[in-house]
Amino acid sequence: MLRLLATPLNETRRLSPALWFLLPLAFGFLSLIVGQDANWDLQNYHLYNPYALLTGRIGTDLAPAGMQSYFNPLLDVPYYWMAMNLPPMLVAAIMGTFHGLNFLLLHGLVRRVVPADTGKLAVLLLALSGCLGASFISELGNTMGDNSTALLVLGGLLLIARHWSRIGRGGVRAGLICVAAGLAVGLGVGLKLTNAPYAVGMFMALALIGRPSARRLAVCLAFGSGVLAGMAITAGYWFALMWEHFGNPLFPQFNAIFKSEFAQEITLADTKWLPGNMWETIFFPFVFTLWPHRFGEVAMIQLLWPGVYTLFGAWLVRSAYRRRMPSGAMCTPIEVPVADITRFMLIFLVASYGVWMAVFSIGRYAIVMEMLLPVTAWVILHRLTSVSRARRVAAWLIGCAVALSLLRFDTWGNAGFAQESFSVDVPPVAQPENSVVLVLASPMAWILPHFPPALAFVSLGSFPESQGYWQRAQAIIDGRTAGLYAIVPAVRDARAQSIQRLSDWLDGHGVQNGDRACSAVAFAMRRMPRLQLAVPVQPDGALGESPCAFELPPAHRRDVGAENRQIAKTVSESLRHRGLSLLLETCTVRSAHIGSKEHVFQFCSAARSPHGPP
């Protein structure tokens, strides 16, 4: 990699333009290898929310996906349409390729902030390394939105970088460029509010570059107005809709401020990921690298974060030391001058990191910063040491980080491909236009688009409920008198089902008990945690050949029916204080699939108490 990073400019002219087409497609291919998206948020709201928006269900249903039912669904509309109309593999390839477009924007940004003598191939590898970080790969092709909105944030950064000299001269055209950059970032913030730290970081970077002047103030105001306009375009309609229905544009978040009667007066800020003390705050990149679950549910090894943090600290210390030295007391400095656009990127990164850590400290919200870490390491190393040594250290640091990300990467949940992206065994419902379904299982809102659209869905127990919320739920329930049903959690014996599927596959391929193939399968199963408890099925004394089949010993079998009956009974008891109950004898277990991955739920009839809640 060092040789590639040090490749001279005249040796890199042979890079084919086809790379700009093929590399995004490569991310689409990698998305196919990972499989169909099946993350928790998709199951909860990424499929339901666009369905509710497109079919006008905001006033019909009540929080079937919990508080996430009221997150802006605009970003999920394209995926919803594709999932319902296109083959699953094509959807995954499109999503992965779309995320791969980040490489093109990152490449354009990298080539403008690195030292002038950096080769074209080195620029390409730095940009590619930025798209191979653990967080970016973990979300490749999925619907969580961080990779998708990163395109808008990087687009704003690139727009400023491309026109940096014109922005410095000021004028109307410079203002329009800043408005356009702010617009791009604002669109991303409106689609996903967790991009707000990047808008703040970019504003601060624009404000801190150069001497204070009316020109710089105008640039900042132009950028800020663009951000507000972008947010209005992608989220203004949603804020207005939430205000109309609930009296809180961010419902149910920040309800301590807006005081909507339909939710508790709480802020709903997720603070469990924030640094716990001063030392964690100072050394946070080392903390979440040593303990990956400290900043996200999925463990991701982030080698570049502490590396860049250390390099940046060394650079600050060295710069402070040099400023204290008398003029002429030191040798000629070895670092190359830092261009203003490079300084702009570094300030953006530092400011965004500070806001992110103070507000979220959640790893997947830092994907844009993660993508900039390789080029940041490259730039700082060129300030700290000689060019040859800087490139050698950068090659090792970035190469090891990328290798570790690819070898140890995890995802937020995927499934194998099937004929349909989603399929649900929908139970029959009489008079759906006059019936209500209580959603008492989570995350199960993804199955609701497959039910009759005339139904109304109401969630109980997964929302910060207030008295006003319950009164609204009660009005929906009482207003539909034909039928009351409930979606209730269910369990399945996944281990037994896996063993049965394997036995059926072996039988279908003619593998017989006693064959070498059967013995090899049994040997392999003993080394697989999910299947190691299986034992061969013994023939019933009949002569002749018997299929190669396995089963769980009786001591390890689960009585799934009894477990599901107990779950339904517990749920029914929890509804008593609301004047509701489940008709337990009507509960049936239904199957639903995300790709090839099975999920189960119980569908029960429910009853209203003639006396209502106590």
Q: Comparing C-alpha atoms, which of 51, 49, 30, 159 is closest to residue 99?
A: 30
Cα separations in angstroms, 167 against 175, 212, 285, 586? 7, 14, 34, 69
CA pair distance 470, 468, nearest whole angstrom: 5
Report whether 200 contacts 351 (CB < 8 A): yes
122: in domain:
yes
Sign of CA dihedral 210, 216, 221, 226: negative
Of 512, 528, 556, which one is at a domain's C-terminal end?
Answer: 556
- Which contacts (CB < 8 Å, 24+ apart) does range 19-24 have? 19/124, 20/104, 23/100, 23/103, 23/104, 23/128, 24/97, 24/98, 24/100, 24/101, 24/103, 24/104
Q: Are 120 and 13 in contact (CB under 8 A)?
A: yes
Residues 487 and 389 in one domain: no
Residues 485 and 499 in one domain: no
Task: Judge if 136 and 149 occupy the same domain.
Answer: yes
Give the contacts of 428 (CB within 8 A, at least 6 positions apart).
none
- Does the residue 102 lie in any domain? yes
Residue 613 resides in a domain: no
- Is residue 502 located within the same domain as residue 384? no
Last residue of a domain, one of 365, 384, 408: 408
d(Cα 605, Cα 228) in Å, to the nearest integer? 48
- State how many domains the chain has: 3
Q: Which two tokens stand for residue 265?
A: 């007066």
Q: How many residues in the chain?
A: 614
What residues have CB less than 8 Å from 36, skipping those under 6 apart? Answer: 88, 91, 92, 414, 415, 416, 417, 418, 421, 594, 595
Query: Would 25 be classed as within a structural domain?
Result: yes
Residues 427 and 550 in one domain: no
SS3 597: strand
Same domain, residue pair 480 and 531? no
**Nearest alpha-carbon partner for 442 in 142, 69, 77:** 69
Residues of the chain under the 70 pLDDT cut: 1-16, 211-212, 268, 324-338, 540-544, 610-614
Judge contact between 23 and 131, C-beta under 8 A.
no
Q: What is the pLDDT of residue 13?
A: 47
Total Cβ atoms within 10 A of residue 222: 21
The whole-angstrom distance between residue 378's C-alpha and the CA centroid of its chain comes to 28
Q: Domain for residue 45, yes or no?
A: yes
Are 279 and 428 within one domain? no
Domain that holds residue 603: 422-492+560-608
Residue 614 lies in a domain: no
Going through 191-294 in order, the beta strands assigned E by DSSP cover none
Are 567 and 529 in the same domain? Answer: no
Please state, in angstroms and rounded to a whole number, the distance separating the CA atoms of residues 516 and 520: 6
Q: Which amino acid is at 382?
A: H
Domain assignment present for residue 256? The answer is yes
Co-location of 261 and 374 in the same domain = yes
Same domain for 344 and 462? no
Are residues 141 and 31 in contact, defined by beta-carbon separation less than 8 angstroms?
Answer: yes
CA distances from 483 to 219, 480, 486, 527, 607 (A): 60, 7, 10, 50, 9
| Residue 415, in any domain of the structure | no
395 and 484 share one domain: no
- Shared domain for 498 and 488, answered yes or no, is no
List all residues 6 or more positions away from 469 whose beta carbon is below 8 Å from its beta carbon.
62, 63, 262, 263, 463
One-letter amino acid for residue 207 of the chain: A
